[in-house]
Amino acid sequence: MMNGNESAQSMTLGDVEVIRVVEWHAPFLPASDFFPGTGPEVWKDNEDWLAPDHWEPSSGLMVTALQSWVLRSGGRTVLVDTGVGNGRERPGMGPFHQARSDFLDLLARAGVRPQDVDVVVNTHLHVDHVGWNTVDVDGQWVPAFPNAQYLIPVADDFHYGPDNAYGNGAHEADRLIYEDSIAPIHQAGQAVLWDAHHRIDEHLTLESAPGHTPGSSVLRLASGGDRAVFVGDLLHSPVQILDPCLNSNACLAPEQAVASRRRILGRAADERELLVPAHFGGAGALEVRRNSAGFALGPWAAAGPAKGSSASE
């Protein structure tokens, strides 16, 4: 059972309201397994700020948040990534197999109804980013957001779809993920495939950042004097800011992932973009600084209750 947050948090960047919706925040996998090749010193040396939001010293487990971001921009509602979903067959995928969560209720508490969503962004097509693309209606998977365009990276759609035999057949779950969370979007005529760059509106632009998956992407926000970049799975832990060469065990093209990570971190530092990853706990977003060793953590973001929320706790 996955437990969501009790209320949504929000911040305003220029003319864009940013709402954070957390589906799950808990210890997940041993840090050394999630980041192969890292020794215990990486975590111990940074324990004072990694614990408790990003690492659990007593168990050595990395602490992970599964979260989505709602952007109210230009009169439209944009949902960035859709979590794990309910009742999905995900053999071999641990807590994602037949998971349950109250994600749609969390959105409702933030004042977002399914019919209100105009655009869904899947930063890439991994299990924990596409699960609420669809819902089960009378035994059929149908789009959860009936009025939305779903923006899907073309390279991931090819790799994880039938054209490339569902991720080259590496994992049986990849076929199931595509069949219940992506194929119904195509069948409903709501899928928009894009490559390289895609402008959503005057404030929001999608950009390819491959490596984690072939179509991994980031979403850039520029409004007034504020800047942010929603990086999906470019980073899973803040330790990757200190060492951008650290790849997760799910990065399909490690060298390409490192190159994308360095490029995005460098631009975030130079342009003062707020860095907004998919899986950071705590405040969930932070600034990045350059230093003599490469990059350092800047201030964490401050957020308050979402304006439209109606938390019942």
Classify strands 119-121 and 76-80 as parallel, antiparallel or unpaired: parallel
Element containing residue 255 per DSSP (H, E): helix 254-270
pLDDT tens-place string over residues 157-209: 999 998 877 777 677 889 999 999 999 999 999 999 999 999 999 999 999 99
Name beta bridge partners: 22: 67
27 DSSP 8-state letter: E
Query: How far lies 244's CA from each of 121, 219, 256, 266, 296, in Å?
Result: 25, 19, 12, 10, 11
How many Cα atoms are found within 13 Å in the side-chain-facing hemisphere of 198? 22
Checking if the pLDDT of 313 tops 50, the result is no
Q: Distance between CA 20 and CA 9 in Å, rounded?
A: 5
pLDDT tier at 39 (50, 70, 90 boundaries)?
A: confident
Of 39-53, 112-126, 161-175, minimum mean pLDDT range: 161-175
Query: How far lies 142's CA from each of 151, 180, 194, in Å?
Result: 16, 8, 22
Sorted by sequence, the CB contacts under 8 Å of residue 170 that are 6+ apart come out as none
Tokens 């342009």, residue located: 271
162 DSSP 8-state letter: G
Element containing residue 199 per DSSP (H, E): strand 197-199
pLDDT of residue 158: 95
